Amino acid sequence: MELDPVLISRIQFAFVVSFHAIFPVFTIGLASFIAFLETLAFRTGNPIYTRLSKFWIKVFAVVFGMGVVSGIVMSFQFGTNWSNFAQATANFMGPVLSYEVVTAFFLEAAFLGILLFGRNKVPAGVYLFASFMVAIGTFISSFWILSANSWMHTPAGTEMENGMHQVVSWSAAIFNDSFWYRFAHMGLASFLTGSFVVAAVSAWFLLKGREVEANRRALSMCLWLLLIIAPAQLWVGDLHGLNTLEHQPTKVAAMEGNWETSGNVPLLLFAWPDQEAQTNHFEVGIPGLASLILKHDVEGEVPGISAVPRDEQPPVAIVFWSFRVMVGLGMLMIAFAVAGLLLRPGGRYWQKRWFLKGLVPMGVAPFIAVLAGWFVTEIGRVPWLVYGQMTQAEGVTPSLSGGVALFSLIGYMLVYAVVFTAGVYYLTRLFEAGLEADDAEQAHDDAERPKRPFSAAHVPLESTGGQA
């Protein structure tokens, strides 16, 4: 069988970027949570906030470290696997991607060291400032990377000249038509991730009756925040979808599983899309609802997939189902946020065991939703790399053979399996040690050193062999 370098490169890119994305999406939310805790500690002087902050900074350090390690791989992917694309778009993508790295650099260089190791070495105000700068830095990082990605979906501000895109308007290119939707949706997704992870871990501590006062407060904060951002995500997601309808109607058609352009289109709850036959099996839907959502009119006309030739159609089933996973989890998140509100009276939200037990697995829900969302976005634009201008087959590295691509794909999978196992295992050890670990650590602070994310945490890797 002939191995297709385009297909394998796609899988490889999807794999490494998915792996990378789960770390920043958490650190972006967590950094803001830490800055918030530091603000509370600064203003109230209540040591409980400092205690919480210290614990979550340790978690932050590990996750950030994994984000950096996997990010280094990303910055070489465009050259190794998509060199034609990199060459054609370098005038825009080059500076914008570099700005992400430069921002991360700056943040790390100046403020991360202080956040991780400087608590007793700098004045409280400076420390607070550093925590804010780290949070802002993560946002600036995602600003650039999402701008680059959005430009590929809705290219603007550039003109073709000698086979390369020349930037004619930086502002039009950076703030392209889908940018703000994507930035808002991703920002909220990061906050949802941060909130649900903190809520899940706090709930787990509460179930064990550990550090009840601190964890109760952390949980309460998360639930208040969720009450705002979970519904907001639904709203922003809807706007995002309407924007996509305008620019990439085929993608929306795939999300809706709608094959023929028509009016009065149902919102499908279940279906088995069949690309071969260009139709769905086992449809269950609510009549007219898709038309209503997308066109605000039950009779509104919704584009169909078969409007474009087969070789320009994305794989419908993946897009269709990923979209349902994301939206379904989004609804579940809203449900938890509302339940949290209803359980407020009498503090039942931190005492009802069923609620806490439900929250614990919700800690992974946002990661799944985020990946599902990216799958919708990225697979829904197949076969385009730069929408309407360059296909994946045109963008791939011409010298790359399928075998070599497969070699590196398997290689990355193996490497990441080790990294991920070690990292996640260590995180679980951190959670087990909990907030209490802090007491044993006070003495260590002097031997600390900057620039080493993981060393901000002192918990040994293995559970036995306790001399660490």
Partner 1 sequence: MEPFDLTLIWAGIIAFGVIMYVLMDGFDLGVGILFPLAPDEESRDLMMNSVAPVWDGNETWLVLGGAGLLAAFPMVYTIMLPALYIGVFLMLAGLIFRGIAFEFRFKANRSRYLWNIAFAGGSTVAAFAQGVVVGKYIEGIQVADGVFVGGPLDFLTPFTVLTGLGLVAGYALLGSTWTIMKTEGTTQAWAYRITPWLLGAVLAVFLLISIWTPSIDPAAYERWFSTIHVIWVLPALALFCAWKIWRSVRQGREGVPFVATMGMFVFTYLGLLVSKWPYVVPPDITLYDAASAWESQLFLLLGLLFVLPFVLIYTAWTYWVFRGKVRAGDGYH
The one among 5, 29, 67, 257 contacting ligand HEM by CB under 6 A = 67
What tokens does 397 get? 């590295």
Of 23 and 111, CB closest to ligand HEM: 23
Scanning residues 73 to 92, which ones bind ligand HDD (CB under 6 A)?
A: 82
361-420 residues near partner 1, rule: CB under 8 A: 397-401, 403-404, 407-408, 411-412, 415, 418-419
From 25-33, 100-108, 149-157, 379-387, span contacting partner 1 (CB under 8 A): 100-108
Among partner 1, ligand HEM, ligand HDD, none, residue 10 binds (CB under 5-8 Å by kind): ligand HDD
The least distance separating partner 1 from the CB of residue 453, rounded to whole angstroms, comes to 8
Q: Does 216 bind ligand HEM (CB under 6 A)?
A: no
Determine if 301 is a binding residue for partner 1 (CB under 8 A).
Answer: no
Of 53 and 103, which CB lies nearer to ligand HEM in the complex structure? 103
Identified binder of ligand HDD from the candidate list 4, 14, 129, 283, rule CB under 6 A: 14
Please report whether residue 376 would count as binding ligand HEM according to CB under 6 A.
yes
Q: Is 195 helix (H, G, I), strand (E, B) or coil?
A: helix
64, 179, 181, 374: which one binds ligand HDD (CB under 6 A) = 374
Least Cβ distance, residue 96 to ligand HDD (angstroms): 8
The answer to whether 34 and 135 are in contact (CB under 8 A) is: yes
Q: Which stretch binds ligand HEM (CB under 6 A): 119-127, 207-215, 240-248, 404-412?
A: 240-248
292 contributes a contact to partner 1 by CB under 8 A: no
Q: Report 17-76 residues binding ligand HDD (CB under 6 A).
A: 17-18, 21
Position among 7, 14, 68, 156 found at the interface with ligand HEM (CB under 6 A): 68
- Interaction mask 148-187, ligand HEM, x per CB under 6 A: ----------------------------------x--xx-
Helix H or strand E segment including 260: none
Q: Which residue has the tokens 């069923």?
A: 354
Q: ω into residue 383 within 30 of 0, thus cis?
A: yes
* Interatomic CA distance for residues 242 and 181, integer angstroms: 10
Cβ contacts of 368 within 8 Å, gap of 6 or more? 325, 329
Q: Which stretch binds partner 1 (CB under 8 A): 227-235, 301-309, 367-375, 422-430?
A: 422-430
Q: Which positions from 54 to 93 touch partner 1 by CB under 8 A, shown as an x/- string? A: -----------x--xx-xxx-xx-xxx--xx-xx--xxxx
Residues touching ligand HDD, count (CB under 6 A): 19
Helix/strand/coil (H/E/C) assignment for every residue in 217-248? HHHHHHHHHHHHHHHHHHHHHHHHHHHHHHHC
What is the distance of C-alpha 138 from the center of its chain?
12
Q: Which residues, other chains included, contact 286 with Cβ-Cβ below 8 Å and sequence gap of 6+?
A: 266, 267, 269
Q: Give the whole-angstrom CA distance, residue 28 versus residue 455.
A: 20
What does DSSP assign to residue 371?
H
Give the residue carrying structure tokens 């992974």: 364
Regarding 254 and contact with ligand HDD (CB under 6 A), the answer is no
Neighbour-count burial of 102, counting CB atoms closer than 10 A to its CB (0-12 exposed, 13-18 middle, 19+ buried)? middle
Q: Applying CB under 6 A, does 58 fall inside the site for ligand HEM?
A: no
**Residue 149 binds to ligand HDD (criterion: CB under 6 A):** yes
- Measured CA to CA, the distance from residue 257 to residue 244 in angstroms comes to 15
Sign (positive or negative) of CA dihedral 104, 106, 111, 112: positive
Supply the minimum distance, in Å, between the C-beta of residue 117 and ligand HEM. Answer: 17
Q: Which stretch binds ligand HEM (CB under 6 A): 42-50, 234-242, 310-318, 441-449?
A: 234-242
Q: Are 216 and 350 in contact (CB under 8 A)?
A: yes
**In this structure, are residues 53 and 34 in contact, taking their beta carbons and an 8 Å threshold?**
yes
**In the complex, least distance from residue 463 CB atom to ligand HDD, rounded to whole angstroms:** 33
From partner 1, ligand HEM, ligand HDD, none, interface partner of 293 (C-beta below 5 to 8 A by class): none
User: Nearest approach, Cβ of 23 to ligand HEM (angstroms)?
Assistant: 4
Q: What is the DSSP string of 3-64?
A: --HHHHHHHHHHHHHHHHHHHHHHHHHHHHHHHHHHHHHHHH--HHHHHHHHHHHHHHHHHH
Note the Cα 374 to chain centre separation in Å.
8
What does 117-166 look like in DSSP terms, one character per residue?
H-TTTS-HHHHHHHHHHHHHHHHHHHHHHHHHHHHHHS--SEEEETTEEE
SS3 273: strand
* Strand, helix or coil for residue 274: strand
**Angle of the 47-81 helix axis to the 402-433 helix axis, nearest 10:** 170
Residue 411's binding partner out of ligand HEM, partner 1, ligand HDD, none, with CB under 5 to 8 Å set by partner kind: partner 1
Provide, rounded to whole angstroms, the least separation between the CB of residue 28 and partner 1: 19
Nearer to ligand HDD, 317 or 360 (CB): 317
Does 336 bind ligand HEM (CB under 6 A)? Our answer is: no
Q: Which residues bind ligand HEM (CB under 6 A)?
A: 17, 20-21, 23-25, 27-28, 64, 67-68, 71-72, 74-75, 97, 100-101, 104, 108, 138, 141-142, 145-146, 182, 185-186, 189, 192, 233-234, 237-238, 240-241, 244, 251, 326-327, 329-330, 333, 366, 369-370, 373-374, 376-377
